[in-house]
């Protein structure tokens, strides 16, 4: 399985359009190689370089496994969780000084998750345990210009 974006390449710089410094629009994502036995997908975008530890920017689960793309500025069908900004939906990179890595991860699961809308990352991680049959990540970088 693979996740890519037409807006930036693996290890490349995320354009400011997709950050808090501009329109905070979600980037376009393409997903290939989804296993035929997948029952649902989970999308997580996070920043492992945040000062307080892993910071979640986007959290969506029970995405239909036929989903092979997510258009720019849109969200996939599925259940939306609460990101670490305390909101539902996408919130882009907005780091303190320094370059941060942002990971867009896709997980294929052998079942749907029985979690309510608004669940937090820890609940999704726990519910996915033992049910991930494939996963992929796309990492981009962003540094704010001061």
Give the end-to-end CA distance of the chain in Å, rounded to a whole number. Answer: 37
pTM over 0.75: yes
Specify the pLDDT at position 84. Answer: 97
Specify the pLDDT at position 64. Answer: 98
β-pair partners for 137? 105
Residues of the chain with pLDDT under 70: 146
- CATH superfamily assigned to domain 2-143: PEBP-like (3.90.280.10)
- Calculate the CA 60 to chain-centre distance: 8
Specify the pLDDT at position 145. Answer: 77
77: helix, coil or strand?
Answer: coil
30: helix, coil or strand?
Answer: strand
């Amino acid at each position: 399985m693979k996740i890519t974006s037409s807006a930036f390449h693996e290890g490349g710089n995320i354009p400011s359009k997709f950050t808090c410094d501009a329109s905070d629009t979600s980037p376009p994502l393409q997903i290939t190689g989804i296993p035929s036995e997948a029952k649902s997908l989970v999308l997580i975008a996070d920043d492992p370089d945040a000062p307080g530890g892993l910071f979640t920017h986007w959290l969506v689960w029970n995405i239909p496994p036929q989903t092979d793309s997510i258009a720019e500025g849109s969200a996939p069908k599925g259940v939306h969780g609460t990101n670490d900004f305390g909101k539902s939906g996408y919130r882009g990179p907005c780091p303190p000084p320094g370059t941060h890595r942002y990971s867009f991860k896709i997980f294929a699961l052998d079942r749907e998750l029985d979690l309510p809308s608004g669940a937090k990352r820890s609940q999704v991680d726990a519910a996915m345990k033992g049910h991930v049959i494939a996963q992929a990540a796309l990492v981009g970088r962003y540094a704010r210009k001061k």
